[in-house]
Amino acid sequence: DARVQLKNVSKSYDGTTFAVKNASVTIEPGEFFVLVGPSGCGKSTLLRMMAGLEKITAGRLEIGDELANDMPPNKRQLSMVFQNYALYPHLTVEENILFGLKVRKVSKSERNRRCLEAVEMLGMTEYLKRKPRELSGGQRQRVALARAVVSHMPICLMDEPLSNLDAKLRGQMRAEIRQLQQELGITMIYVTHDQVEAMTMGDRIMVLKEGEVQQIGRPMDIYNDP
Ligand code: ADP
Ligand code: ADP
């Protein structure tokens, strides 16, 4: 299922200092869970270990009921949205959205069905034949979200997905991402350095400082006990 568990997870890149130290938490299915803290506190490292993009130095990562420490990224039941969107510039919006499904040998009719569903949810139906350079920042962001939606994975990881957008659009996209997560019923693990974003989006928030977990709680609990 869509539960993610960390048990004393640590990461050292250099063998002496820790980018993440003894992080433990159980993230429940359907939860919107936010990792927050200043630049360099270890948020991306923690997320990348969940995704299998970074090796875990010590501790246990479980996805569902499985030990996932050494599970290859493509075997993990999760999708990931990056800060810079990671779109292929030479592919159209449609091709970008469907690339991952093609690789996973999902049938053409199923691919088209999922693509239509995703672009309708995100209001991107008119832009399927465009290239990323012909889109606004917010539209590129929606293509990256559509790619996560069509994967039909029960868990989604997002690493500062809104940091390249202006303040107004950021507010709008926060609401859209929150709504998308609830409609799909997926588990969201969301990284941001923005405290307002954490407070307005998260069911629960993990506050990191210099690689260590400072607090885990609901926004109100953290607001009352900063
Ligand atoms: P955040 O996402 O909160 O900004 P990071 O996880 O990127 O924090 O970084 C945590 C710490 O680990 C920082 O001190 C950073 O310099 C270090 N770090 C991150 N990635 C690497 C890497 N690939 N090699 C060495 N050190 C890294
Ligand atoms: P963020 O704070 O959003 O994680 P960074 O600029 O810290 O962004 O990191 C961008 C990339 O550089 C990441 O892939 C990260 O792993 C890598 N990185 C960060 N710090 C270091 C470091 N000290 N040495 C090597 N790579 C690093």
pLDDT in tens, 149-205: 999 999 999 999 998 888 888 999 999 999 999 999 999 999 999 999 999 999 999
**Residue 33 CB neighbours (<10 A):** 20
**Beta strands, E only, 13-141:** 20-27, 32-36, 58-63, 66-67, 78-81
Nearest CA among 166, 87, 80 for reference residue 131: 87
Contact of 202 with 27, CB cutoff 8 Å: no
Q: pLDDT exceeding 90 applies to what percent of the chain? A: 88
What is the ipTM metric for this complex?
0.74
Give pLDDT, residue 103: 85
**Residue 140 CB neighbours (<10 A):** 20
Q: Counting atoms of ligand 2 from 1, which one is nearest the CA of 191?
A: 3
Three-state DSSP at 40 gives coil
Lookup result for tokens 């607090």: 215
Q: Which residue's CA is the closest to the ligand 1 atom numbered 14?
A: 40
Q: Which 8-state DSSP code applies to residue 62?
A: E
52 Cβ contact list (under 8 Å, min separation 6): 68, 71, 72, 73, 76
| pLDDT for residue 55 is more than 90 | yes
Terminal-to-terminal C-alpha distance of the chain: 33
User: Which ligand gives the minimal distance to the CA of 160?
Assistant: 2
CA separation for the pair 90, 87 (Å, rounded): 9
- Identify the band that residue 225 occupies on the pLDDT scale cut at 50, 70 and 90: low
pTM score: 0.89
CA separation for the pair 89, 155 (Å, rounded): 26
Three-state DSSP at 186 gives coil
Contact of 216 with 37, CB cutoff 8 Å: no
**Residue 109 CB neighbours (<10 A):** 8
User: Which ligand gives the minimal distance to the CA of 45?
Assistant: 1
Nearest CA among 191, 207, 201 for reference residue 81: 191
Give pLDDT, residue 192: 97
With a 6 Å cutoff on the Cβ, whether 44 touches ligand 2 is yes
Three-state DSSP at 215 gives strand
86-139 per-position pLDDT tens digit: 999 999 999 999 999 988 889 999 999 999 999 999 999 999 999 999 999 999
Q: Which residue's CA is the closest to the ligand 1 atom numbered 24?
A: 13
Pocket test for ligand 2, best of 12, 17, 36, 44 (most atoms within 8 A of CB): 44
